Amino acid sequence: MTYARDVVALARKDLLLELRARETLPAMVLFVLATLVAFRFALPAGGSERASIGLLWVAILFTALLGLTRAFVPEREQRVLDGLVLSPVDRSAIWVGKVTATLAFLVAAELVALPAYALFFERLSWETVAAVALADVGICTVGALLAAMAAAGRARELLFPLLFLPLALPILVGGVGAAVTDTPARYLGFLGLYDAVFAILAWASFEYVVTE
């Protein structure tokens, strides 16, 4: 119960910071809309469903990348992460709080992006929506851990995409697979497994990422 309250306090803090600064979410929403508009014109008329769904996943992934790159910026400024790490909370709660907040931003951006996709391209299937929901968890789970790792480094803006994109490739495979095959359950299961495995790994390793 105490752990959950710590997580809520930490996530609430991130939401409050975003409400005040308004730096991350507007950028994510504008980026995903601009990307979908660009794809709309880039894809030839009569382009395949498979191609457009692939573009949706690319847009989601890069929008998440944009948000996650900024995930630990408030902590990096003035070394606030030191203050959180010194407090007697379970350090994994810092990670869970960050996952919760970045997940909220990503879902908010998708609430705009998915209807826009339906408008520009085609109606979304329930399999795609389910895959996006599962993928969001995996993206934020892995992304928050890597963002914390990159925040400690010098070339963080370069380092984070280099770490994140290879690990996010299975999410692309699962997401596109769930939308275009006859056996979406297999791919949704794969995304669920990805979420579970990386959540356990990130939860267990976060302490070592934020301490020397």
Partner 1 sequence: MIRGRGLERRFGAKRVLRGLDLDVARGAFVVVTGANGSGKTTLLRLVAGLAAPTAGELAVDADRAELGYLGHEPLVYRELTALENLALYARLYRVPESRERIGMLLERFGLWDVRNERSGTYSRGMLQRLALCRALLHDPTLLLLDEPFSGLDAEGAELLDRELLERRGHATFLVATHDPVRLSPLATGAVPL
Which residue ranges make up the site for partner 1 (CB under 8 A)? 2, 5-6, 9-10, 13, 16-17, 20-21, 74, 77-80, 82-89, 211-212
The CA distance from 122 to 55, in Å, is: 12
Question: In the bound complex, what is the minimum distance in angstroms from residue 72's beta carbon to partner 1?
Answer: 12
Q: Which of 63, 205, 75 has its CA nearest to residue 145?
A: 205
Of 89 and 99, CB closest to partner 1: 89
The CA distance from 68 to 120, in Å, is: 26
Question: In the bound complex, what is the minimum distance in angstroms from residue 62's beta carbon to partner 1?
Answer: 26
The CA distance from 143 to 68, in Å, is: 6
Question: In the bound complex, what is the minimum distance in angstroms from residue 208's beta carbon to partner 1?
Answer: 11
Of 124 and 207, CB closest to partner 1: 207
Question: In the bound complex, what is the minimum distance in angstroms from residue 70's beta carbon to partner 1?
Answer: 13
Of 47 and 74, CB closest to partner 1: 74
Of 56 and 81, CB closest to partner 1: 81
